[in-house]
Chain A
Amino acid sequence: MSILASGGFWAFVGVVAGIYTILSLGLQVQFGFAGLLNFGQVGFMALGAYTMAILVVKEGWSMWLAAPLGVAAAAVGGLLLGLPTLRLRADYFAIVTIAFSEIIRYVATNETSLTGGTQGTIALGPTGTASQYNGQWAAFQTHLQHSLGFSSADATMLVIVWTVGVVLLTLVWVALRTPWGRVLRAVRDDEDAAASLGKNVFAYKLQALALGAALAGVAGLFYAWEFSFFSPDDFEPLLTFFAWMILLLGGLGRVWAVPVGAVVFGFIFAGTRFLNFAPFTWVASDERAYIRLIIIGLIILVLVVLRPQGLLGNRREMVLE
């Protein structure tokens, strides 16, 4: 059977798009609604995944306790990063965030006794054993698969990820429609004006950063559960830029633009895998993988020129001064 017609493959694409949705939703809160240029989103994802895996394997915690702790660790990471840096100018803050996510990755690479180092989570436990943090998750997924009467684990994961995704999207959408969200947008558009209206700009930025970091933590959990294994290499800065591409594709400042951007991104990314005809075949197949990045880059370029507000953004809001 061709991979194109394989339900499992497209379910996998859908799961990854769901995980990207949650990751990029965090970025939408931070940048789309609070104006924070965060280029280190993947670092919070790593914090969530590693905290969960370490607590399960090393401390023997139940996954159901370790998972919320992973999200909390990502949020606390956001607070700790934000406290000393959020008073910096936006461009300096952006540089600090990318350094932050690289520090997380380097610590995960080198603190072998804590993280398993370059071998990844398989080396979390004692030497000579292949450790697994995924037992409880797999059991839950199988149980759910039977209750739903699904034939494949992929379809079950797809349902779980998108259920959580839609719940989170809805919660964020509701939160941003409250007066709290109104202040956040004011902080994004004009910090000084917000301060002169008595708003504690710093506190709002810190909350947005921590909330977005927590969402990245959730994405980290699903990433860990989907792949049953991860290593520091999974948290390269490239992933943060994928989240940014999704944001630009979907549109800034719109909650429901995030899943649209993620699905479009996911399908372009997976779809370019099938470019097995000329002229693409002139390129060696292992190098062909890079073509999809070039294509996505071109699409974003065209979009920025023709439709700068993204697929779902509001053009009017972009041109007002």
Chain B
Amino acid sequence: MSPILEVEDVVRTFGAVRAVDGATFAVEEHSVTGLIGPNGAGKSTLFATIAGSLKPTSGRIVFAGRRIDRTSAYRVARAGVVRTYQAARVLTRMSVLDNVLLASKGHPGERLLGAVLRPGASRDHERAARARAHELLALVGLEAHAQAYAGTLSGGQRKLLDLARVLMLEPSLVLLDEPMAGVAPALRVELLEHILAVRRDRGITFLVVEHDLDFVMQAADRVVVMNEGRVLTVGTPAEVRTNEQVVDAYLGTAH
């Protein structure tokens, strides 16, 4: 197995605060890699930096052999690195179906001139995208809600919609920001199964920030532990669980 993502000595400062302070790790292709650490460890900042919505102060981020640390967020997404947000950012005033359709790649109708001058090409693409969107909605169990406003979905359903939308983008690497936060326990199992099935069937790599350690231990092949902006250790869930530094970081040294 080879790394699909390499984070090399990445630093991101906000004024005097070094939110990410020289983080280095790699994500193996087709893995589910957990990214954990106490609050303020720099996980979210690092996520935003990988996704391109924040630029690193220094360091390199290499995805599939290409540097992406100076690339804007939408280009990173097009290159195949797609992030989700802790509170799923669904477009509430659009239908569930339109939310998924938005994620269709290379749509000729999304260019003003393309929509006007090549209506045929736009229609063809739209038809194919619609079929695929319905398939993905069926996959995550939201087909019955296709025409509803996304704003009428529950928090957990929104996460499922987000997953369908992400899959529509045909990404190679998905960055999940706390996929289990705010999801009802009944939906958690379903969400986990979806993620594992997607990894198995589509060969998508996942990097997951998650506070729910049970989930991380269950789902992840490898775990990256961050503390104070740096990577504390990398290992299998079993290794990480027994690592004394990790226990210290989570419970404080005075435990």
A contact residues vs B (CB 8 Å cutoff):
175, 178-180, 182-183, 185-186, 189-190, 192-201, 207, 211, 316-317, 320-321
Contact = CB atoms under 8 A, between A and B. Distances in A.
Contacts of A199: 74, 102, 110
A198 B169 contact: yes
B73 A196 contact: yes
B57 to A, nearest CB: 20
A198 B78 contact: yes
B83 A320 contact: no
A185 B165 CA distance: 16
Contacts of B91: 185-186, 189-190, 193
B113 to A, nearest CB: 9
A130 to B, nearest CB: 42
Nearest to B51: A196
Contacts of B182: none
Given A193-B90, A320-B151, 17 more contacts: A175-B116, A178-B116, A180-B109, A180-B114, A182-B101, A183-B102, A186-B91, A189-B93, A192-B85, A192-B89, A193-B89, A196-B73, A197-B103, A198-B75, A199-B102, A317-B149, A320-B149
12 contacts: A182-B110, A185-B93, A189-B93, A189-B94, A192-B85, A193-B85, A196-B73, A196-B89, A198-B105, A199-B110, A207-B112, A211-B112
A192 B86 CA distance: 13
Interface of A, helix, strand, loop or mixed by DSSP: helix
A131 B71 CA distance: 54
A198 B107 contact: no
A185 B92 contact: no
Contacts, number: 96
Given A196-B73, A196-B77, A200-B74, A182 B94 contact: yes
Given A186-B94, A193-B91, A317-B93, A180 B111 contact: yes
A194 B85 CA distance: 12
Contacts of B101: 179, 182
Contact of B92 (A179, A196, A321): A321
The 3 closest A-B pairs by CB, nearest first: A320-B151, A179-B109, A178-B115
